[in-house]
Amino acid sequence: MTGVEGMGTGDLLGTARGILAAGPICDHCLGRAFARLGHGLSNAQRGRALRVATVMLGGDVPRESGRCWICDELFDRVETWAQRALRAVEGIEFDSYLFGVRLPVRVRQMERFFDERFPTGQAEPLKHAFNRETGKVFERLAGHGTVDLTHPHLKFLLDIEAGTVDCHVLSLFVYGRYRKLVRGIPQTRWPCGRCGGRGCAACGFTGKQYPESVEELIAAPFLPAAGSAQAHLHGAGREDIDARMLGPGRPFVLEVEAPRIRRLNLQELGAAVNAGAAGKVEVDGLRFVPRETVAWIKEARGEKAYRARVAFEAEVAPSDLSEALAGLVGPIAQRTPVRVSHRRADLVRERRLLEAHGASLGPCEARLELRGEGGLYIKELISGDGGRTRPSLAERLGVGCRVLELDVVDVRLPESDA
């Protein structure tokens, strides 16, 4: 058989009669065998119509008593499973959902046998049909919500054999920009180096190397507001702990795990962040975004601008500084810096320094304004990192250089934010 297009009425009814004669079968499973026939009908309606048509055009209806030999009357329990799913998410806000099902081994075997014996070319998998019917009842019982195949707020897994309902509440994603106004705060929670985050005397049994982070300061008002236990900050790069993040701020996405409340007032939460982290961290431009924004934030290679106060090991004339900075603009080859080599692959990366300007603050000190591609290590661009970065300011000047203070003053991504 070639499906609906190549199946005449006689072939259709003959196949339906053969299916009915094979043993007790529910209307759902009978209709599933011809899922592409009868637009707008449910499988149950389709199956009932075929059952009646065999009487009208082909004689008596084959026996209907007994449990469906394919699904074991699974579709009779749709309402029960939908009710259990609704109880599992009591008190959780959602607008969308998606059901999945783990069928018993016997049912999977019977479905495979059925498909091989009656290859109509139009059958809908039992999983798909059951998930759809359960979702329809769930939506009716809940009084709201719609199925979403890509970004559902709730993902259910119904294990028929084990009799369990598992629900995964998908994360909530909030985009914004943050400014870090002080030095000495890491971007994300930093586990204690001695205990690995378990808690010890060295970290005061907090499990943290530093008492607070940008991530924790931003997440603080979000967690109780969303009824969540954990949140993660995904930044468009990161500044060093001893660097500030100024200007318009760094783009980030805050991922709030398993929120019980999704309808958050972001304006109020932004104000709460700024009040709670007063003088340390500020946020603005908060808005809800899809999960894909996290990948965009992490993968986008934009441009970053820096302001650095630099010390020289010997006196440097302003003219020599200007000449050295002009010679730095262009490609920079950087081997993974020594200070991060323990946690990053030892590679040589090429980035470009796009602009470089400086002003002397004294014979052995200067303030620099630099702009370069994302991923350019500024401290090493200045110091040379023992020859691992070339060219460097130290190499151009022939004088040892080190950064005293570093600020990130702008982060520009290649596309409009989020």
> Which residues are tagged catalytic?
240
Question: How deeply is 97 buried, as exposed, middle or buried, from its count of CB atoms within 10 A (0-12, 13-18, 19+)?
Answer: buried
Closest by alpha carbon to 309, among 211, 353, 372, 243? 243
Distance of alpha carbon 121 from its chain centroid, rounded? 37
C-beta of residue 333 within 8 angstroms of C-beta of residue 407: no
382-401 core/surface letters (b: 16 or more CB in 10 A; e: else)? bbbbeebbebbbbbbbebeb
- Rg of the chain on CA atoms, in Å: 32
Distance CA 310, CA 316 (A): 11
What are the residue ranges of helices labelled H in 177-239? 214-226
Backbone angles phi, psi at 118, to 5 degrees: -125, 75
Backbone angles phi, psi at 401, to 5 degrees: -135, 145
What are the residue ranges of helices labelled H in 118-183? 126-142
Distances (CA, A) of 415 to 104, 248, 298, 301, 376: 48, 16, 13, 10, 19
Q: How many CA atoms lie within 13 Å of 233's alpha carbon, on the beta-carbon side?
A: 26
Backbone angles phi, psi at 158, to 5 degrees: -100, 115
Peptide bond just before 221 cis, omega within 30 deg: no
